[in-house]
Amino acid sequence: MPIIRLEALDPMSRCLADESIARKTIQGFGFPLGVYPVEPMKPQEGYNSDFEQADGDDGIEDVEAWPDRYVYDIVISAQRLHALWVQIFALMPGRVYPILDYIGHDCYREIDPYIAYEPIGQERVTNFLQRYHDFFFEDGMVGFGAVSEDPFFYAFVDEHKILTIRVEPELCPKIEQLLASFGIEAVDEPAGADAAAHEHRSVLITPKDRPDLLNADEIVEAARHHWGLVLNVDPESNLDDEGNDLGITPFRCLLRYETDQNPTAQYAEVLCTAASIHEAESLALEAIEQLIEEPETDKSTTDIYLLSADRVEPKDISVEPEHSKSSKPLPKKYLQQQSILSARWLTGTK
C-alpha cells in the first residue's frame, strides 16, 4: 500500500486516467475504463424499478429509518454517466450524507464502506467529484453517492458504474421524467459490466514528475477528510464478509505523524496482531509513540492519525528483520494474543 501524501489535501491536486487504456465498447455501449466484461455479452441501457417497504436504516446508525420507497437500477453508457449523475444529484436537498465504497487492501473484506454521520453541502460533494472525475466515474475500484433525510433520497454509483436511486413514491414522476430525457427506458433486465464475468482495475497514473496527480488511496483519504467519512465497520469485532469471527489476525496499520513545530508529515507502518480494529489502533498508537525519538515541547501540538488498519494473512508478513535474507511466515504463536510485531518509519511518497 502506498504512502498517502499530504498533497492529497492540496486544493491543486487532481487525478488522471491512463490514456493508453482503451475503452471497451460493445454495440455502441461504452464500459468504464476500470470495469469491463471478459466474456461475450449484450449490454442493455435502461432501468428497472421495484417497491421496497420501510425496513430501517440499512446499517447507517445515526440516520433516520428509511421509509417506503421505490428503487431504480439504472445502466447507462460510461460516457453519459457523469451528465446523468449531475441531473440526479441536483434533485437532492442542499445538504446530504456522502457515501463511498472502496475496494481496498483488507484481505478479509472486499469493500471498505465509508459513510458520513453529519450532512454537508452539495457543493462540497460536487467540487470533489469534479476534481477527481476520472477516479469516480472511470475507476473500477470505487463507488460513491449520497443520501438525504427530508425528503428521503438515495443515489449511489457503484464500482460497476451502475446508478441506484431510492426515493419516496412522490418523487418517482420526476425521476422517470429525467430518465426519459436521457432516452433511458424501462427494460426487464438492464445489463452493464456486472451482468457477465468481468474484471475491475484502477486506471489512474501517478508519474513521478506530476506530484499533483493522486493515486486511489490518496483520493480516498482526501474524501474522508473533506466529506467527514468514517469506516462503517464494527471496530470492536473481527468478522469477514460472511460474518465469521476471525479472532486474532495480523493487521497492517499506516499512520501519519506531524507537529506544528514540524508540519512535514512522517509516516509509519505498524504490524500487529489484534482481535479488532480498535485493538489494532491502540497498538499502532503505542508503537508510534515508541518510534518518536524526542518528546515534543509543551507548546507543540502533536497529530497522530491512523490512516488505515487492514488485515493481512499470516503468510504475507514476517517477524524476521527487515533486511533478513530469509522470510518466514508468521508463526501461529503470534495469533494467540494481541501484540506489536514491528514498527518503522516509511520513506518516499510513491
Whether 57 and 188 share a structural domain: yes
What three-state secondary structure class fits 309? Answer: strand
Whether 196 and 252 share a structural domain: no
Helix (H), strand (E) counts: the chain: 6, 17
Q: What pLDDT, in 10s, does the model give residues 75-103? A: 999 999 999 999 999 999 999 999 999 99
Q: Mean pLDDT across the chain, nearest whole number? A: 90
Residue 329: per-residue pLDDT: 74
231 inside domain: no
Domain hosting 31: range is: 6-200
Give the residue-averaged pLDDT of 127-139. 98
Q: What are phi and psi of 64, to 5 degrees?
A: -60, 155
115 inside domain: yes
Q: What pLDDT, in 10s, does the model give residues 237-291? A: 999 999 999 999 999 999 988 887 776 788 999 999 999 999 999 999 999 999 8
Whether 178 and 253 share a structural domain: no
Q: What pLDDT, in 10s, does the model give residues 320-338? A: 655 555 567 788 888 899 9
Whether 280 and 193 share a structural domain: no
Which has the higher per-residue pLDDT, 79 or 63?
79
Which among 200, 229, 259 is the end of a domain?
Answer: 200
Whether 37 and 94 share a structural domain: yes
Which among 130, 165, 200 is the end of a domain?
Answer: 200
What three-state secondary structure class fits 20? Answer: coil
pTM above 0.85, yes or no: yes
Whether 189 and 265 share a structural domain: no
Question: What is the per-residue DSSP string for 78-130?
Answer: HHHHHHHHHHHHHTS-SEEEEEEEE--S-TT-S-EEEEESS-EEHHHHHHHHH
52 inside domain: yes
Residue 302: per-residue pLDDT: 76
Whether 265 and 188 share a structural domain: no
Q: For the chain, what is the domain count?
A: 2
Whether 301 and 194 share a structural domain: no
Whether 127 and 272 share a structural domain: no
Cα gap 264→243, rounded to integer Å: 40
Whether 100 and 166 share a structural domain: yes
Residue 326: per-residue pLDDT: 58
Whether 156 and 254 share a structural domain: no
281 inside domain: yes
Give the residue-averaged pLDDT of 23-46. 98
